């Protein structure tokens, strides 16, 4: 952090376990003065906040098409209403953390397995890379183990 007001008010968290990044969270209280992405530039899924002063206008544009290879399917939840617990598991199926998200909070799931526990009726925006091949192909259930 560079110490600016925007960074002092920042409410971004990286969940790491044994040197591996499992998730990134932007809490609803996050505040930045200018656009800031938190994901490393080489990540296949970019995660950040857009912020501009009134009157800013971005020129019309599109994003250049090029072949990408995605090996790490990541998923993002943005909670619109309710409360949800997101459980994060390591590669051995051991629970490493549960993150409780409220309206306005967002999380990107980067590595390992995850599960959700709905605490209060919720609605989330969910974003992930496609194409979607169906639950039978895309979802692999794991055996949960004790530490």
Split at pLDDT 50, 70, 90, the class of 2 is very low
Split at pLDDT 50, 70, 90, the class of 137 is confident
**Angle at the Cα of 117 from the Cα atoms of 112 and 118, rounded to 5 degrees:** 140
Give the closest residue to 106 by CA, choosing from 28, 10, 35: 28
CA dist 36 → 46, 47, 76, 102 (Å):
10, 9, 17, 22
Instruction: For residue range 73-106, list pLDDT tens digits in order.
Output: 899 999 999 999 999 999 999 999 999 999 999 9
Residues 5, 68 contacting (CB under 8 angstroms) = no
pTM: 0.83
**What's the CA gap between 25 and 121, in Å, rounded?**
21
Split at pLDDT 50, 70, 90, the class of 117 is very high
Predicted pLDDT of residue 128: 87
Q: What is the CA radius of gyration of the chain?
A: 17
């Amino acid at each position: 952090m560079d110490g600016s007001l925007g960074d002092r008010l920042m409410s971004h968290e990286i969940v790491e376990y044994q040197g591996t990044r499992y998730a990134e969270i932007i809490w609803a209280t996050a505040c930045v003065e200018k656009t800031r992405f938190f994901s490393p530039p080489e990540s296949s899924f970019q995660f950040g906040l857009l912020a501009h002063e009134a009157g800013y206008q971005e020129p019309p544009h599109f994003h250049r098409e090029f072949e990408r290879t995605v090996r790490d399917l990541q998923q993002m939840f943005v909670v619109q209403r309710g409360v949800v617990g997101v459980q994060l598991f390591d590669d051995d199926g051991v629970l490493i953390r549960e993150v409780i998200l409220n309206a306005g909070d967002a999380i990107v799931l980067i590595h390992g397995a995850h599960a959700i526990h709905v605490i209060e009726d919720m609605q989330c925006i969910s974003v992930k890379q496609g194409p979607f091949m169906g639950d039978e192909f895309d979802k692999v259930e794991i055996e949960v183990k004790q530490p």
